[in-house]
Amino acid sequence: MKAQEGLFLVAFFSLAYTKLVKGQHQPPEDCQTKCGNITIEYPFGISPGCYYPGNESFSITCKEDRPHVLSNIEVTNFNHSGQLQVLLNRSSTCYDDQGNETTSYRYFTLDNLSLSANNKFTLVGCNALALLATYGMQNYSTGCMSLCESPPEANGECDGRGCCRTDVSAPLDSYEFQFAPTSLADLTSVHRFSPCTYAFLVEDDKFNFSSSEDLMNLRNVTRFPVLLDWSIGSQTCKQVGNTSICGGNSTCFDSTSRTGYVCRCYEGFDGNPYLSAGCQDVNECTTSSTIHQHNCSDPKTCRNRVGGFSCKCKSGYHLDTTTMSCKRKEFGWAMILLGTTIGFLVILLGVSCIQHRMRHRKDTQLRQKFFEQNGGGMLIQRVSGAGPSEVDVKIFTEKGMKEATNGYDESRILGQGGQGTVYKGILPDNSIVAIKKARLGDCSQVEQFINEVRVLSQINHRNVVKLLGCCLETEVPLLVYEFITNGTLFDHLHGSMFDFPLTWEHRLRIGIEVAGTLAYLHSSASIPIIHRDVKTANILLDENLIAKVADFGASRLIPMDKEDLATMVQGTLGYLDPEYFTTGLLNEKSDVYSFGVVLLELLSGEKALCFKRPQCSKHLVSYFAFATKENRLDEIIDSQVMNEDNLREIQEVARIAAECTRVMGEERPKMKEVAAELEALRVKTTKQKWSDQYPEENEHLIGGHILSAQGETSSSIGYDSIKNVAILDIETGR
């Protein structure tokens, strides 16, 4: 049974592949490909589904065993290069000896086809002017005049005496013929040998004028072969890209006469380039085609290969490319050449060895230069200085980083941002790390980089991605971090790679962990650190959904004696503090604003900046502000987390987020206060749930009240973010 199911799936996908090539239509195998003795090839076809959809000009009608395009124009030949040979009627006007006119005007509409430039507009007759004109989107006209007083000599020349012709320079999709006699007297004077004037289109070199046969009745020929141009679609090859219908072993070319494109088999291949397997290798050694035939002087030396051929001589002979013939080798010259070649190779090998040693020495010097340029000497001095080292960081080599990232292979890229590219690295002990490679080096910032490495290496906070080491032997420093396996908070909130949504408990805990981390960086680190790029994409989650703050590439160290620092504005739109953006002064309140936006994302599940929202609500802060003002906050809270049990908590978190995202930095709380409020909210919620779950035990608590830290009782947990800050675990790591 399983084997039958497997065969069914193979057959299904095989059929699907014949139907779709590069995302485009392909004809079924049972399509009719003959009309009379003419072969009809895709993109043309007779029945629906057998021709390229979207253009009825590719639909062929088979009438009386003759193919017709646009229902009434007979086709005599199909061309894969974007041309059709069809038969089009002539137009004529005739006068009797009394000057009475009989006219047959012709007007043609070609729809999505157009006249090729390889046609001639031809007039046969005497003392007449014929015009070819089109009107509408493209005004165009051309014509010629034929004059004669007596029958021209039968020389076959169409030179203006009895016959004239002119080029059709514009691709036309509709046209009409018009006649204008020079004078009635002129017409009657030539009536005996030229009673009619004929105008028609004809393919180049398909009509030779004969005055004796053509002036009287144009040999009774009413239709002439004409070339029409066609193409696929209306886009260029660059615009369609990989979605063109060109099959295997073929290439796409822009149409030279109209919009759209045509397909062509590669050199050495032949067939229908519009079919998935239409272009097949031509065996130049056996084909009778003059186009693909080989040019080896002796057919026995011809060897076919995919896309071409070669002329292979037997041992002791060589190929003369001028005559493509085999000639006997001159062994004397061959030995001289062989000895010269060996000597040259020995010299080349010696030079290569010297160059290799010089290159190795140069690379060593360059690595040492980069090491010193990136502050390696300063870092080693601090690592190996007197007394216990204050820096717990490992220095990796350039070779080790290349091996860990498989030569910085693109498949190892975890992410790319404004600060650089992060690669997945595998160290010799098989431990997995994240290696961050900066985009540009800045020699003037070496001291700051070393201080940043020193500070980050001392941070051992449980919610900060741990810095393991760095590499200074490259043009730009590399930082090595611990590898976090469960993606970013942004992916969980807005991506599709995770099947399970974050619950409210998860979101509240993540917000508390991030707030505590930022409070630690601002208040408890040896030198205060402003992250400067707090966003959900820089918050990683481990296998237990524990938050890890990452990407300190934009961070700045704030001296203890300064409250803010003037810097070039840097950050991510949607999270960027408006006051910092305006003044360029960075302080800890800038991180508070960004964290407030993260809280809003946790509440709503919406992106910080979304251009699909209304004009006044593209920014999530504005979105929340308008919703709060109009008392419809519940409409924008993520429906996956909101219920009656946590409504009060959500409202409290929304209030905290609103305070964090105030425009003026001085009106925002500090991160330590924000963290304390969120922690107090969780404690209060936990006690409330415990009381609801164990009501009997709650009755034994001093009259149902909770004893406060001062020995007083209270029916609820009171909290003041300024006067009574809760004690949090934000000043210690793990």
Known catalytic residues are 533
Q: d(Cα 136, Cα 337) in Å, to the nearest integer? A: 72
Closest CA to 481 of 453, 441, 520, 510: 453
Q: Which residues contact 148 (CB under 8 A, 6 or more apart)?
A: 126, 127, 161, 162, 190, 194
DSSP 705: -
Q: Between vectors from CA 210 to CA 208 and to CA 212, what angle results, nearest 5°?
A: 165
Q: d(Cα 385, Cα 215) in Å, to the nearest integer? A: 110
Tell me whether the omega of the peptide bond preceding residue 27 falls within 30 degrees of 0, making it cis: no
Residue 506 in tokens? 């998860």
**What is the strand order of the sheet 91-95 is part of?**
101-104, 91-95, 196-203, 119-124, 163-167
Task: Go through the chain and tell me how many residues it has.
Answer: 734
Backbone phi, then psi, for 106, in 5-degree steps? Answer: -130, 135
Residue 204: count other Cβ atoms within 10 Å of its Cβ.
13
Burial of 375 (0-12, 13-18, 19+ CB in 10 A): buried
Residue 500 in tokens? 């399970």
DSSP-assigned states of every residue in 35-92: ETTEE--TT-BSSTTSS-TT-GGGBEEEETTEEEETTTEEEEEEETTTEEEEEEE-EE
Residue 321 in tokens? 């490319």
β-pair partners for 167: 120
Q: d(Cα 301, Cα 311) in Å, to the nearest integer? A: 5
Residue 172 in tokens? 């036309």
Q: d(Cα 305, Cα 278) in Å, to the nearest integer? A: 18
Q: d(Cα 678, Cα 671) in Å, to the nearest integer? A: 11
Q: Between vectors from CA 640 to CA 638 and to CA 642, what angle results, nearest 5°?
A: 70
Query: What one-letter code names the amino acid at 57?
Result: S
Q: d(Cα 602, Cα 617) in Å, to the nearest integer? A: 17
β-pair partners for 108: 175
Residue 457 in tokens? 């290496």
Q: Between vectors from CA 168 to CA 167 and to CA 174, what angle results, nearest 5°?
A: 155
Alpha helices by DSSP H, listed for 228-330, are 237-240
CA–centroid distance for 327 within its chain: 53
* CA Rg value for the chain: 42
Q: d(Cα 668, Cα 659) in Å, to the nearest integer? A: 6
Q: d(Cα 226, Cα 424) in Å, to the nearest integer? A: 64
β-pair partners for 101: 95
Closest CA to 175 of 221, 143, 148: 143
Q: d(Cα 272, Cα 260) in Å, to the nearest integer? A: 18
